[in-house]
Each structure stands twice: as C-alpha cells, then as structure tokens.
Chains A and B, each alone.
Chain A
Amino acid sequence: MAKKETLPRQPMPEQPPEERIKNFKEVPLGYTPELAMKEASRCLQCKNPSCVKGCPVGVDIPGFIRLIREGEFAKAIRKIWEKNSLPAICGRVCPQENQCEGSCVLGKKGKPVAIGNLERFAADWEREHGTGELPPKAAPTGKKVAVVGSGPSGLTVAGDLILKGHEVTVYEAFHKGGGVLVYGIPEFRLPKDIVASELNYLERLGVKFEYNIVIGRTITVDELFKMGYDAIFIGVGAGLPRFLGIPGENLVGVYSANEYLTRSNLMKAYLFPEYDTPIAKGKNVVVIGAGNVAMDSARTALRMGAENVTIVYRRSREEMPARLAEIHHAEEEGIKFMLLTNPLRFIGDAHGRLRGMECIKMELGEPDESGRRRPIPVEGSNFEIECDLAIISVGAGANPLLAKNTPGLKLNKWGYIMVDPKTNKTYKKGVWAGGDIVTGQATVIKAAGAGRIASNSIHDYLTLGW
C-alpha cells in the first residue's frame, strides 16, 4: 500500500499554453497506454469504493481501473458502458473534483486517482483501436419512441432503447446533433469528431436522426403521438440565455455566451471566411460569470486573437462554479480574473458599439439561499474598464417554446418541466423528460443519468404499461 501511495498522480500531457492559445486543437493530449496503466496502479481497489458514490451514474470505477491496469482496455470500456454511454465525453468534461475524484479516498491525504483521465483513455482507445463491434440488440418490439433533443440526455435514451428492441427517432432543432456538446463546448475542450463518433455509433445501431425539426413548431408533441409514437422523451436542454438587465446590454459587441459559442462552435465562425458565419473579434474582452460557460467563452475569445481577456465575477475565487481544470487552463493561458466585481452598465460610442463597462466592487456578506456568501456592493467603488466585446455567461433558463405548445405538461415556477424523479415521467401520459430542461443547467453526466432513468421507465411502460 505504502508503495502505491508514493507513486504520484500521472499528469496528462498537454499542449503548452503559449502554443495552444493560437489554435483550437484539444488542450490535454491523452494518456499513453503506459501512463494509463501506471495511473491505474495507484487505485487501491477499495472494497467499499467511495468514488462510485460520487459518480452520478455509479460507474464501476475500481472495476474498469483494474482492467486498465491489467492492459485489458477493450474490457475496461465495456465495464464503463454498463453505466455510462458517453465516456469519451464525460472523461473530458465531468467536474470530477466534485464527483468521482472528489470522493476518492486517496484524495484525503494526497491526490485522487485520475478517474476522468482514465475513463477518457479507455474510450479513446476503443475509438482508435476497437473492433467497432456493436453490442447485441434485443428482438424488435414493434414500439416506436421519439426523442426530442440530441443532447446527452436524449442520446442516452436513444442508445438505451434501441438496444432494447424499440424503434427510436431523435428530433433535433439544429442541423447537427449533440446539443451543448456541439454548440456550446468548444473544440479545444471536446473535439467535435468525438461527438460525431458517438452519433455515428447510434446511427449504426439503427437510431434515426431528423434534423431541422423544432418540436412545438414544425411538429407538436401531440402530433408525434398521431404519427404513431408510443412514448416521447423530452431532452431539450436549458436553451434560454440569461442577460443582466443593465443599461447598454443591446449595444453592438455585447453577446450572450450562447450566441458567441454557437457562432464559434456550431457555425465554425472561428474559421471565417472559410465558413460564412461572422463573429466579433474583440481586442479587450470581458466575460461576465465564472462557470464552465464563462471559461469557454474567455478561452475562445483569446484564441480569436484578443489582447486582453478578463473574467468579471461578483463573488470570490472559492465560489467560481467552473471545473477546476478549466480555471487552471484559463489562468495558464493568461486570462485575468477580476473577482468581487459586478457590472453596472455597458457604455457605447456614437455608433451604438460597446467601448466600456462600468463596474462596482463587491464584498462578501452573510450566506444566501445558495449557501454561498452573498456579494454586497461597496458604495462609491465604481470604476470603468475599457472593452469592445462583452460576453454574458451568467447561466441559462428554460426555453418556453416547446412547453408553450404542449398542453398537459406541468412546469415549476421557473418554467422547468416537472417530473417524478424516480421515473422521470412528466404529468402528460406517454411523455418523459430529463436533463437541463428538468433540473436547470447541470452537467453532462447528470443529463445522461436522467436519460437512463427515463429509458428504464419507458421500457417498462412499453412492455408493461403506464
């Protein structure tokens, strides 16, 4: 045991910061088989593993790590697939420090096992070296399921139910599948080839994808039933940008993170003019907020050629909700953090273009409903910063488009769809929901987990009844 603990956590090789800020290629480069086996050997193979409790879908972590240690990579990935259908993605984007790794016993004294890195390794190995052999499919049941939205929750439902013998069609509003994985999370953090390969896998299993269809507009949920679907899963995400509600927010140069990231990721504006969609190139960029979305926006702006990128956040470092790895990457790349600072208004020039932002300093008071200390403005501490591009990344709300056109659903006071958490059934017969449209913006693995709960319940319904 003592020997194992002395082996340090194996860092994943990365593109050096000065190089990577000039490209959109992935930052961490992945483990070699040797590094992976070495890191796997650090795991204590706990009898009662606390790490598994930290994983929202309960991946058999010691199980798959043991297989990596033994060099059985093909078996390792199959072990992960038992609980998680998107490991190449989760290994890259899960906030491991709050989930699996945050609960690893090794973390008490030293550094936890790099579970995410290992999960990513197993999935990448399978993609690059695997046989591509498909898992066995149950005999056709003759039942049809429609999945609305192709984010991680919808993809999980589709993958689960196709294996159980049901016919599955995914309806997606955009022209590409993946949800936030393609329109939100940038290439340098999650290469789009990986998302494409997950979609391709589902297509090979027989899942049909119908793009450019906005459910609630092109076709309604009730019409889907008329078209012969027996069950419907709604996984439309939390697609409503939040703004600050301060003066000057409609100036040219003020973006929501959704717009900025959709332009650059989905529409590939970072390749303009090879791609037609334009995007503003800022010299002095401010990003408001400090979650993953904010880090992604800031690091994208840097790669678009900004001279200065500053994260403006009203709380302190401790409360920043982003993944630790991304905060670290952002800092390495030279992004500045202006903490305990709140924007008051955007300032425009004569042509309605952004030229600055007035802010006020904040201090932390008593804890608020979220349990975090409430930021309070420091009177008279106003100051201006110069900026020509501002990206508002303060979270997302529930997009009402589908719910408005779907009688029978029940929504909570924020507009999220209400479900029975044990089954993810909505109040409308034959309709399930999960992911961000139920919980508010959460994580990829939580959305996938919600999809798993729904798919189990849908399968029961299709075979046993409501």
Chain B
Amino acid sequence: MFEILRREELAGGTIILNEISAPFIAKKAKPGQFVILRATENGERIPLTMAETDPEKGTITIIYQVVGKSTALFKTLKVGDRYLDVVGPLGKPTEIEKVDGHVVCVGGGTGVAVLHPITRALKEIGNHVVAVIGARTKDMIILEDKMKEASHELFVCTDDGSYGHHGFVTDVLKDLIEKRDVRLVVTIGPVPMMKVACEITRPHKIKTIVSLNPIMVDGTGMCGCCRVNVGGETKFACVDGPEFDGHLVDFDELSARLKSYVEQEKIAYEKFKCECHA
C-alpha cells in the first residue's frame, strides 16, 4: 500500500505531484477532501488535499509545494517508494451546488491543485464556470490545461506579468464581478489571497467559499489544533471544514496560528538540508 506509481515535477521542481496507491481511500474520496501522510517513522503528519482520485485504479493524486522539512522529504521519494502512512479521506467534501449565474473559481499557487476537482464538479453539475489562476511568475503556473478543461473560461495571471494578465487573481475577480452576474466564488490559495478575495465579494454579498489549511495533527477532531474562528464560533477545520463561508472566517487569527512553529520549522529544514548535502 501507499506506493508511489507516478511522480511529476511542476513549476520547476518546487511543486511535486505523486500518484499513490490507496484503494480504500480512492473508493471513498470526494472533491475537497484531504489525506494525512507520513513518510518516515520519525516524520510529521502532513495534510494534503487529493487533487484527483481514480477509484478503479485505486489511486489518489496529491500535489504539494515544497515549503519545509516534510515536503522536502516527500520530494525525495521516487516512483516505487512508499509512504509509511496515508489516512483519509478526511474533511467534509465540497458542497457542489447549481447556481443561477456565473461561478468563479479563484486559485493561487498550489491552491489550484485543490481547486481543480471542485471546478470540474461545479461545471459537471451544469454551472457556467469561470476559472482564474495565478502565480508569482510564468514558471510557477500549474495545471493550466486541466483548469481550462474543467471550466468554460480560464484567466491566467502572474504577479510579474511574465504570462497572461499582469497582476493578481483578485484583480480579475473584481473585474468579473463588475461585468458578470457572479453568484458563487470558490477561492483557494495563500491566506492573504483568500482574505482579499473575500473583501472583494463581501460588499456584493456573493457567497464565497474558502478552503483553510491550519496546522493539523490527527485530522479526526481529536486534538483541536486545527481550530479556526468562523463567525465567532470555534470550528475544527479537519471535521467541520476545510471549506467555510469566507465572509465569516477570521483570517488574521488563522495567519497567526499558522506561524506557531516558525522557529522549529526553520531548525528542522536547515537540519534536513545539511543531512542531504552531507
């Protein structure tokens, strides 16, 4: 179990795709759900969303950005290697609803990987779906073809203007809201991006779904580590989410909690880099 059957490097090797054998999970998983993985006995439990699943083949696909020790360790795994533990599917599936106007799916960075199955499902149910994806620069754009296929229209943005629209995904969102009858927005990406997107849709009272990524341990509602403030209520993202009504989320608190371990993360990553070079 948990053998890596396919591995791809995206965005110049900063983002990695793994297709993993996990038959039980593949059979159950729905868009929006995630798994928790561990690669080694002394490893940390790392939550990653399933970007794709194949119930017949019994595989799930994860796409992750290398940001620290654990994801760097995952990057070293080759085809034929195994993850030690993969548990899931965790979290609530996305509620795929049919709305009367346009749906805009806004993704940044690896958030696009999480957004892709949701975008596809929203289209399949009969919505007119506009997708907006972005990254810092051209080489960092991922899944452009897949997002094109999953939506009716695709806008691509880069912060530096090296490709597509010069600017942020949220600029395009603003524009779309002014010109079209947008009824639903799904936005997944870095916390500041989701926060801005919610500020843009709030005055128009457009329902806006975000997918949150707080630090997690068990992923089953047992520890409370993943708690987030949604409309003044404490919710556990691993069981009550990870998707929430973005207009109710306290993003500042989420940002602060994501920084809980910055010092240790630095130590772990530095140690890992030393060991790898040695």
Contact = CB atoms under 8 A, between A and B. Distances in A.
Interface string B177-213: 0000000000000000000000000000000000000
A262 B256 contact: no
Interface string B17-36: 00000001100100000000
A277 B45 CA distance: 8
B110 interface: no
Contacts of A275: 42-43
A217 B42 contact: no
Interface residues of B, number: 42
Contacts of B259: 252, 351
Given A241-B223, A250-B253, A259-B225, A401 B239 contact: yes
B80 to A, nearest CB: 20
Contact of B86 (A212, A217, A256, A352): A212
A278 B224 contact: no
Nearest to A237: B222
A249 B234 contact: yes
Given A351-B259, A400-B221, 19 more contacts: A173-B218, A175-B38, A213-B87, A218-B25, A240-B221, A240-B222, A252-B260, A258-B222, A262-B223, A273-B268, A273-B271, A276-B42, A276-B69, A276-B70, A280-B260, A280-B261, A351-B256, A353-B256, A401-B220
Interface string A241-255: 101000001111001
Nearest to B85: A175
A252 B267 CA distance: 19
Contacts of A259: 217, 223-225
Contacts, number: 112
A274 interface: yes
B271 A241 contact: no
A371 B220 CA distance: 34
A257 to B, nearest CB: 9
A46 interface: no
Chain A interface mostly helix, strand, loop or mixed? loop
Contact of B265 (A174, A249, A278): A278
A9 interface: no
B160 interface: no
A252 B90 CA distance: 24
Interface residues of A, number: 41
A255 B257 CA distance: 11
B261 A250 contact: no
Interface centre among A211, A280, A401 (most CB of B within 10 A): A401
A15 to B, nearest CB: 26
A281 to B, nearest CB: 9
A250 B228 CA distance: 8
Interface centre among A218, A240, A399 (most CB of B within 10 A): A218
Given A252-B256, A351-B256, A399-B222, A276 B43 contact: yes
